[in-house]
Amino acid sequence: MSGSKSLGLFARYLTVWVLLSIVAGIVLGNAFPGLFHALGGMEVAHINLPVAVLIWAMILPMLLKIDYSALHEVWHHRRGIGVTLVINWLVKPFSMAALGFIFLRVLFADFLDPARINEYIAGLILLAAAPCTAMVFVWSRLVNGHPQFTLTQVALNDVIMVFAFAPIVGLLLGVASVIVPWDTLFLSVLLYIVIPVVIAYIGRKALLARNKLDDVLHLMDPVSMAALLVTVVLLFGFQGEQITRQPLVILLLAIPITVQVYFNSMLAYWVNRRLGVAHEVAGPSALIGASNFFELAVAAAIALFGFESGAALATVVGVLVEVPVMLSVVSIVNRTKGWYEAMPVRCP
């Protein structure tokens, strides 16, 4: 994300805002169940219209900040980018599917509703299948990351996501024994990735030509924050009765997500060190490798499985977990800089 003060405040206290939104959603869902069911019924082709509007409000400001012309910098940071791409696309989704199976189907099976375990695993897969495109700018700044590397990596991941998200999700959901509604999945990719990326690319060029980009982003950032929090309220409003009956589910879902973040971030960090990549590149590489595009995950889970699904709940737990866990990864990267730089650097 950009360095605006309002967004910095949002990022710093995201866990607090999400917790308050969760409480509000549970309370409102139990108090006004009819309202939430009416909102959930506003669908076209299995896409919930209120959520579609909220997701666009979340995604567009983030995508407007991506300079796709930065892709020409790929070669200058090829080792770090190579590590991040392998973690993002070949390790993270598959490791999350494995962790979901181990924790939810084996270790925690006795504590979960058997009818929802597949949905929970599907939500975890959706969460891990797309790398973050926004919060990583915050993480990168906190570890003094190379800004051009971060920008290049995010732009490249966005381009890959247009083509790779649906096939990877479809493959892993099939492995997890979840019936894949391919028409809805591809519609979600079109609605939440392809169209916003195209609009943001054209809009960014137009706004830059008029020197209005910063002004527009300043206006849109609070809207993006509000949209995320309202989405969380809606999701937990639909899940309210189940959560009040089974609060343990939130904790159990948080465990594999937390393990996945530490595993992927530390793996990327270690491999970068073995390759002699500079710390200012390895830091953001580790953080990009571990973080998730939770806005897309939430949207896809709702589109594929519905508001009241275990998949939607799992993706929202990812929102809750990501900020404190990623901040701890930032601390690890900063505290180990001396150890990291003890190995000679070969190239960026």
pLDDT tens, residue by residue, 91-135: 999 999 999 999 999 999 888 888 889 899 999 999 898 887 666
- Ordered by where they begin, the domains of the chain are 5-339 (1.20.1530.20)
Burial of 251 (C-beta count, 10 Å sphere; 0-12/13-18/19+): exposed
Where are any strands of DSSP class E within the chain? 43-44, 47-48
pLDDT tens per residue, range 66-92: 777 766 766 777 888 899 999 999 999
Count of helix runs (H) and strand runs (E) in the chain: 17, 2
Question: Per-residue pLDDT averaged across 215-242, rounded?
Answer: 77
pLDDT category, 6, cuts 50, 70, 90?
A: very low
> Rounded to an integer, what distance in angstroms lies between the CA atom of residue 320 and that of residue 138?
17
Q: Which pLDDT belongs to residue 168?
A: 87
Task: Out of 99-103, 231-235, 333-337, 339-343, pick the least confident.
Answer: 231-235
For residue 43, the 8-state DSSP code is E
Half-sphere exposure of 79 (CA within 13 A, CB side): 18
Relative orientation angle of helices 5-12 and 135-142, to the nearest 10 degrees: 80
Query: Which residues, including other chains, have CB under 8 Å from residue 212's CB and lie 6 or more apart?
Result: none
Which of 136-140, 197-201, 213-217, 272-276 is most confident?
272-276
Higher pLDDT, 123 or 14: 123
For residue 55, the 8-state DSSP code is H
How many CB atoms neighbour CB 115 within 10 A? Answer: 8
Higher pLDDT, 345 or 221: 221
Q: Does the pLDDT value for residue 5 go beyond 80?
A: no
Find the length of the chain.
348
Residue 150 contacts residue 342 (beta carbons within 8 Å) = no
For residue 344, the 8-state DSSP code is P
Mean pLDDT of all residues belonging to the chain:
81
Higher pLDDT, 270 or 139: 270
User: Which residues make beta-bridge pairs with 47?
Assistant: 44
pLDDT tens per residue, range 245-283: 777 888 899 999 999 999 999 999 999 999 989 899 999
